[in-house]
A and B are shown apart, each in its own frame.
Chain A
Amino acid sequence: MARMPLMRPAEMSDSQRALAEAIAGKRSGVIRGPWAQLIRNEKLTALASAYGDYLRDGTSVPKRLAMIAVLATARHWKAEYMWAAQQARAKEAGLPEPLIEAIRTGARPRFEDAKDEAVYTLVTELYRNQAIGDATYAAAEKALGQVGVVELLNIAGFYTTLAMVISATGVPTIDGAKPAFAG
């Protein structure tokens, strides 16, 4: 069933369109995906975008570790659009193909890097158990530091917000992307 249509520039007010263009400038040219749903509330979109930009570019969390959290989040919420949209960034950040593939299927990845493992375990344990074991917390703090743990949880949760928008409102995946979580 078609759910919520993405807002198109022609349907936006002048101020919505200006905001959409400002956001799109930083994200691949056209406002798309969950941002084309958020734009229904302009003030919320503007501040969500500022928060999201900081989480993407301003924190102490290394890109590679942030991308592990983002992909695990897309996988948990079955957010096809997010998975497709984040592939290029994940590769740029240096995530090995087998790790990406294991996150996609949900099989326990074989880790080459203890920090990768600490972040993956933190996020997936949170999603699965809504609780974090002592050893998992200790490994995360060792990998990221205390500031980094707080920042990483913000990253995972911010992408959770976008993933819930994608799943609930039926944001379609990127044209030509094959389904990552079907079946």
Chain B
Amino acid sequence: MARMKEIKPEEFDAPVRALGEKIVKTRGGTIQGPWAHMLRSPKLAEKAAAYSDLFRTELSLPLNLVQLAVIMASRHWNAAYVWNAQAPRAKAAGVSEAAIEAIRAKKTPSFSDDAERAVYNLFSELYGKQSVSDATYEAAVKALGEKGLVEILNVAGFYSIVASIVVATGVAPRPGAPMPFAS
């Protein structure tokens, strides 16, 4: 069933379109997908973008860990559109292809990097059990620091928002793009 129609860039009022173009400058460059939906509520889109812009510049975390959290959120919520956009970024940030493939296939990856393993375990437990064991918490704090742990939870939470919009409103992979989670 077709769900929410994506508003096209030229269909927005000029100020909203200008806001959208500013928002997507660092997000693939085209007003589409979840941001086309966010822009139905322009002030919300502006605030969501200002907050998530910080993920690129103001976190104490290395990018491979940020991207690992992002692809795990998109996998958990079955947001194929987000996965297609973010899996290449995870690879570029240094997450191994084998780990990305294992996450896609819902298998347990093996990590050579302790910090990546700590992040993986953190989100596996959170998504799977909605709680985190003492050992997993300790490994996460050791790998990320207290500040970094709080930061990565924000990243995962924000991509959960993006993913839930994708899943609920029916944002599909673009024509010709892979269907990574097809069973």
Contacts and interface: CB of A to CB of B under 8 A. Distances in A.
A57 to B, nearest CB: 11
Candidate in B4, B54, B154, B167 with the most chain A CB atoms within 10 angstroms: B154
Given A37-B150, A50-B50, A161-B158, A126 B41 contact: no
B47 interface: yes
Given A167-B131, A168-B149, A158 B157 contact: yes
A103 interface: no
B72 interface: no
Given A41-B59, A41-B151, A161-B157, 14 more contacts: A4-B149, A38-B154, A41-B60, A43-B58, A51-B44, A51-B51, A126-B164, A131-B167, A137-B1, A150-B44, A157-B164, A161-B153, A164-B157, A168-B132
Nearest to B157: A161
Contacts of A156: 161, 164
A149 B171 CA distance: 14
Given A4-B146, A147-B40, A164 B126 contact: yes
B54 to A, nearest CB: 5
B150 A154 contact: no
Nearest to B125: A168
Interface in A108-165: 122, 126, 130-132, 134, 137, 140-141, 146-147, 149-151, 153-154, 156-158, 160-162, 164-165
Contact of A44 (B40, B44, B132, B151): B151
A78 B146 contact: no
B32 interface: no
A140 B168 contact: yes
A99 B158 CA distance: 28
Interface string B141-160: 10000110111011011101
A76 B131 CA distance: 10
B50 A169 contact: no
